[in-house]
């Protein structure tokens, strides 16, 4: 999958205003600074609307979920937290029953267990959590009806629960939402990662570039710098992501262009 999912390293640059008033108005023995967070590094809590257009926006990369069989009313559980068998046999969900989503597309996902192994299909159609590096066999297509899911392999077969609580991938026909053995209820346990990775991964490269270009152009402008200067603010801290070092072509899924906006900020501060 390339870059580690949901890993973010943020740097901050201090941009100092050039004096434009008398020295009495600009006492540079004191730094009066503000932080321009949420501009060149996305922070979803600052501007949640950036994520509104993402399909399955509650299933962003890094979201933690639990799956409960509608048919047997038990949770999918990776024994030992991963690295071995998976069964649908737990009445109460905890860490072994919690999986982190790796989002491949708006409807394709990989499920990572607590210990880091991914749900995968073996040759005998039994699901286990034994793969460290995900590929096609660890990628599942999700069909949703609100919180209800059908989970399908790329070969077209669906996951189901057997009568002895095995988790298998040999349901060959299209299940209905009343078919409890192939229907799962998803509970979202944690969905707090809303950064550049989640935004770009969620929208895809074309739409993410459009969304971020507009955001960077309008979220902070030269008028804001004028207002800060008039308010005796003489420095700003601008958080930037590590991927700015590769601008204008950062590694996927990150979107280039933040370096141009940073250069513009230094120009505004002169």
* Domain boundaries of the chain, sorted by first residue: 10-53+194-268, 64-190
The alpha carbon dihedral of 179, 180, 182, 188 has a sign of positive
Residues 175-217 have pLDDT tens digits of 999 888 999 999 999 999 999 999 999 999 999 999 999 999 9
241 and 196 Cβ atoms separated by less than 8 Å = yes
Name which CATH class applies to 64-190: mainly beta
| Buried-state track 158-169, b at ≥16 Cβ within 10 A, e below 16 | bbbbbeeebbbb
Letter string b/e over residues 100-127, b meaning 16 or more CB atoms within 10 A of that residue's CB: bbbbbebeebbbbbbeebbbbbeeebbb
pLDDT at position 10 is 53
**pTM for this model (two decimals):** 0.88
The pLDDT-based confidence of 63 (bands split at 50, 70, 90) is very high
The HSE-up count of residue 81 (CA atoms within 13 Å, CB side) is 5
Residue 177 backbone class (left: φ over 0; alpha: ψ -120 to 50; beta: rest):
alpha
Element (H, E) at 170: strand 167-171
């Amino acid at each position: 999958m390339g870059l580690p999912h949901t890993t973010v390293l943020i740097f901050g640059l201090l941009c100092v205003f050039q004096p434009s008033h008398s020295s009495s108005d600009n006492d540079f023995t004191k730094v009066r600074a503000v932080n321009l967070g949420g501009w060149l590094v996305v922070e979803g809590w600052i501007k949640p609307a950036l994520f509104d257009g993402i399909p399955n926006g509650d299933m962003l990369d890094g979201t933690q979920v639990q799956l409960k069989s509608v048919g047997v009313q038990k949770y999918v559980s990776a024994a030992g937290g991963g690295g071995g068998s998976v069964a649908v046999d737990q009445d109460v969900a905890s860490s072994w029953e919690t999986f982190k989503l790796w989002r491949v597309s708006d409807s394709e996902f990989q499920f990572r267990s607590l210990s880091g192994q991914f749900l995968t299909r073996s040759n005998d159609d039994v699901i286990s959590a034994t793969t460290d590096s995900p590929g096609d066999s660890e990628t599942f297509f999700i069909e949703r009806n609100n919180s209800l899911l059908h989970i399908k392999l790329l070969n077209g077969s669906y996951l189901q629960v057997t009568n002895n609580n095995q988790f298998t991938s040999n349901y060959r026909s299209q299940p209905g939402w009343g078919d409890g053995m192939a229907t799962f209820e998803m509970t979202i346990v944690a969905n707090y990662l809303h950064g550049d990775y989640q935004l770009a991964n969620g929208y895809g490269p074309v739409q993410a570039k459009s969304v971020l270009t507009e955001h960077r152009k309008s979220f902070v402008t030269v008028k804001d710098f004028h207002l800060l200067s008039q308010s005796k603010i003489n420095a700003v801290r601008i958080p930037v992501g590590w991927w700015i070092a590769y601008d204008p072509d950062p590694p996927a899924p990150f979107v280039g262009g933040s370096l141009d906006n940073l250069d513009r900020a230094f120009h505004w501060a002169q």
